[in-house]
Amino acid sequence: MRLLICYASTEGQTRRICRFCAEQVVARGDSVEMLPVGEAGEIDLAPFDAAILAGSIHVGKLQGGLADFAATHAGALNRMPTLFLVVSLAIAGGDPGDRAELDRIAADFADKAGWTPGQVAHVAGAFRFTEYNFFEALAMRWIAHRKGQDVDPHEDTEFTDWAALAEVIREWPGE
C-alpha cells in the first residue's frame, strides 16, 4: 500500500507525529510519502491508496494551508481511506467541553473543504517554549496556569501519547 502523509506544523510537533506515523507504516511494509503542505504543490493523489492529513490548532483553528490542500483535493480524498490527525493541547486535559470544541473545529474544517475524513483522531501536542516568541510564551504560560498544568517555561513539554498513536495507525486503514 502506498500512503501519503500531508501535514502542517507550526512549531514542529505535528511533524514529529507524522514522522512517527511514517515509521509505523514503513515498519509494516507499506510505502509512504511525507510532505509538508507547503511543498505539496500540484501533487496528483491518484498513485496513493490512502492518505493522512495532519495539522495543529492555534487559537481555535487549523492551518490555512492544510485547509486549502483539503479543499483542492477533496474529490480524490473522498475516494480513498483517509485519517485526519488533529493536534492540540486541549485534548491532553481530558475535559469533555474541550473535546466537543475540538470535534467542532475538526468538523468545520472538513465541511468547509468538502472532505469527509474516514477517521478523525485527536492527538495531544506539546508546549514548545524553545520555539515561542515572547508573546506566545506568555500566552502559553497563562493557558497552562489556567488548566492547572505544571510546565517549566524554559523547557519543552510533550503530551503526545505515542503508544495510543501507534494503536490508531496499527488499526488504520483497516480492511
Ligand X SMILES: Cc1cc2nc3c(=O)[nH]c(=O)nc-3n(C[C@H](O)[C@H](O)[C@H](O)COP(=O)(O)O)c2cc1C
- List contacts with ligand X (CB under 6 A): 9-14, 56-60, 87-90, 125-126, 128, 132, 136, 139-140
What is the closest distance, in whole angstroms, from the C-beta atom of residue 46 to ligand X in the complex?
28
- C-beta closer to ligand X: residue 28 or 133: 133
Rounded distance, CA 165 to CA 162, Å?
5
Angle at 57 between CA 16 and CA 82, to 5 degrees: 65
What is the closest distance, in whole angstroms, from the C-beta atom of residue 21 to ligand X in the complex?
13
- C-beta closer to ligand X: residue 60 or 114: 60
8 Å CB contact between 102 and 57: yes
Cell output for 17: 507525529
8 Å CB contact between 36 and 15: yes
Instruction: Please tell me whether residue 17 adopts helix, strand or coil conformation.
Output: helix
- C-beta closer to ligand X: residue 56 or 82: 56
What is the closest distance, in whole angstroms, from the C-beta atom of residue 5 to ligand X in the complex?
13
Select the residue whose beta carbon is closest to ligand X and give its number: 125
- C-beta closer to ligand X: residue 81 or 125: 125
CA 83 to chain centroid, in Å, comes to 10
8 Å CB contact between 6 and 69: yes
